[in-house]
Structure 1
Amino acid sequence: KVEPDVVVIAGYFGSAMIATLVWSLWHGKLPILLSETTETDFTRIWWRETIKRWLLNRYKSALVGGKPQKRYLIKLGVPKEAIFCGYNVVGNDAFHPDKIKSLAPPLNKPYFLAINRFIPKKNLPFVISAYATYRQIAKDRAWDLVLCGDGSMRSQIEKQIKDLGLTKVIHITGFLQQQELLPYFAHAGCFIHASTHEQWGLVVNEAMAAGLPVLVSNRCGCFEDLVVEGINGFGFNPYDKQQLTKLMLKVSSGEIDLDKISQSALEHIQKFSPDYFAEGLIKAAKYALANH
């Protein structure tokens, strides 16, 4: 029979999460929230926010991804001192350049890399459109674009690529498992993540762990914590095609020191490790036990 002191619950909405919260409170256990939600990742409706406030008041502490996630919980009434960071991490070692650079390159030329489900919020038609303009400007110096993934928008995306005459330079791999993705991480020149909204975006962690410079939408929940502007990558407005085109040109032109940016990306992401998650969760548990 399990008799925990604390119960860790991944999210506050959904029948399973609410049932677990009720069980915890009924049995005198201390519920701890795991949350990656930000204020801007969905349209907020007042009555749902009211319910959230009521639910969140029952939790004793929380572990969140980073700064925007923490701000949102504070806005919903969670005490600042009860919120700890470290939720959104990956096993960085699996992507380390020392482990993957020896893998055979999937292309024999430089390329931008994007890894997504092919669904509307991932904003791939925008990326393709920005890339088409980039290609017109960069001409023979342009890098290719690799899109790894699959989903409901695949036929639309393939048609857009064909209509733009870019079938030879934009490559769709289909869905790939992590091991199959490693060669693409290993040999890409830069990673692009253009979501119009995203609670975090763990694939950005993976790209940085592979030592890639990153171009990340400023609507992604990870942007504020992971991207240090001009140091390990750049942010952009996911509705400003010209801005992304300019960043593609900047990255691929030799104007900036990509080796230095790559090293900075690799160094910065080391903090966001499984150890960081464990430390944050232990702090959240200790806080809950000391303040219930």
Structure 2
Amino acid sequence: MKIIVVHPAHMDYRQEVLESLNKKYDTTFIFTKQGRGQEGVREEQATIPPEWKSKVLKSDLLIGRKDIGMYLRLIKELLSGKYDLVLTSTSWYICWLIARIRGKKFVFMTEFWYWQDSSLMRKILNRFTKIIVKNSDSVFAMGTNAYLSCIKSGIKEERVFMHPQCAVDYSKLSTFNLRARYNLEDEKVILFLGRIVKVKGLDYLIESFLRLEHEEKNAFLIIAGDGPDRIKYEILAKELGIKNFLFTGRVSKKEISSYYIACDLFILPSIFYKQSYEPWGLVINEAMAFSKPIVATNAVGASADMIENDCNGYIVEEKNVEELYKSMKKILSNEESMKSMGIKSREIFENKNNYSNFCKILNQSIEYAIKLP
């Protein structure tokens, strides 16, 4: 069977999944954002294996941030390509429409679950997406929130296959001593790692840490990563009078293990911002691999699958400074509980961050679709 896989870019956390598809099917990979980052932030993308049949559709024909040339090339590939099934996690409007025109099977691979009609255009696109979900041959939902969103769209339950997102286990990589580098041996380190953009909710984290710092004198906040809002948040932290904080700038894949090892608590305070949110948040999985307790908001897709309240961390309401503060204080104030939460995080990671099961269920969604009349 010949399949086309349309995907934004090749990342290390997708290597095992895409390789399994390449081995099982006659697969052509089409990458639509290889070489481009998200929201102006450079991504550390993986090299596409030369033995794969693949095409990168990036062009220089841009309107705003939209690569119009890429869309035109994608339409051409889908109209002229020889395939039985399209599996896509991006540009699904084009992929679904052309698959239907050509009478090909269509599998929607999605992590999305929050559909905010923030404008007339967004309302139209959201309605179209729900029509696509309902009329897909099958859907592979990456996480509980995505699964429930699909069911709500009206697709038959037997057509939806679900598995949590999986991330690479970096816990065995070599590291440097980050605490020694920044003289943090006696500090209780709270870590955020990711793109520094509005949707990450860092202003709420900074405000909640201000309260925590007044009571926990050895609490220390590390904000690791880069993005267009970095300077704004650095200024905010200084204006509020926070003393124990550090903005590190961009962190490479080779360095992230050192950051996860050094922290006592990992936090992802993302918010709902217009139509943006955190569909999953792979840093949650990554931190759990290092046996760390987690605090995340209800705007983070991973929270529904990876966090058990008062067991390995807490799920708090987005934009709620009080809940962020209380959850951080509760974890950091009890060394024994903090350690047991970390152990539980690793157990949940090992159980749910299972690439073998992920690939198996993804294949089931493909096989289901191809057998439909």
TM-score, normalised with respect to structure 1: 0.88
Secondary structure at the aligned position of 2:295 is classed as strand
Provide closer, same or farther for how the CA distance between residues 85 and 261 of structure 1 changes in structure 2, counting only shifts above 3 A: same
1:44-84 deviation per Cα after TM superposition (whole angstroms, max 9, x unaligned):
86543432233234421011121111111112122111111
Cα offset for 1:6?
Answer: 2.7
Structure showing the higher helix proportion among its residues: 1
Residue 184 (structure 1) aligns with:
259
Shift of residue 289 of structure 1?
2.3
1:187-227 Cα distance to aligned partner (Å, 9 max, x none): 21010000013111111111111211100111211111111
Residue 110 of structure 1 pairs with residue 188 of structure 2: yes
- Determine the structure 2 residue equivalent to 1:25: 100
Structure 1 equivalent of residue 197 of structure 2: 119
RMSD: 2.3
Q: How many residues align?
A: 281
Equivalent residue, structure 2, for 1:261: 341
CA distance in 2, matches of 1:33, 1:250: 40
- From 268, 290, 305, the counterpart of 1:210: 290
Say if 2:141 is the partner of 1:68: no
Q: Distance in 1 between matches of 2:164 and 2:313?
A: 22
**1:229: Cα distance to partner?**
0.8
- Separation (CA, whole Å) in 2 of partners of 1:118 and 1:27: 42
What percent identity do the matched residue pairs reach? 23
The 1:102–1:153 alpha-carbon spacing in structure 2 relative to 1, beyond 3 Å, is: closer
Partners of 2:220 and 2:127 in 1: how far apart?
48
Note if contact 2:298-2:315 (Cα within 8 Å) is conserved in structure 1. Answer: yes
How many angstroms does 1:100 deviate by?
A: 4.8
Distance 2:89 2:165 in 1: 12
Distance across 1 between alignment mates of 2:325 and 2:345: 21
Amino acid at match of 1:227: I
Partner of 2:359: 278
- Residue 50 and residue 280 in structure 1: after superposition, are their counterparts in 2 closer, same or farther (change >3 A)? same
Report the TM-score when normalising by structure 2: 0.70
Deviation at 1:19, TM superposition (A): 3.1
**Mapped partners of 2:100, 2:353: distance in 1:** 31
- Unmatched 5+ residue regions in structure 2? 3-25, 27-81, 272-276
Amino acid at match of 2:369: A
Is contact 2:139–2:161 with CA below 8 Å preserved after alignment? yes
In structure 2, C-alpha distance between the alignment counterparts of 1:63 and 1:166, rounded to whole Å: 44
1:4 CA displacement:
4.1
Which shifted more, 236-245 or 188-197?
Answer: 236-245
Q: Which amino acid aligns with 1:190?
A: L
1:52 paired residue number = 129
Q: CA deviation at 1:42?
A: 6.7
What secondary structure sits across from 1:151 in the alignment?
coil
Q: Secondary structure at the match of 1:136?
A: helix
CA deviation profile, 1:77-112 (whole Å, cap 9, x unmatched):
2211111112621122xx23xx25864234423300
What is the SS of the residue equivalent to 1:162? helix
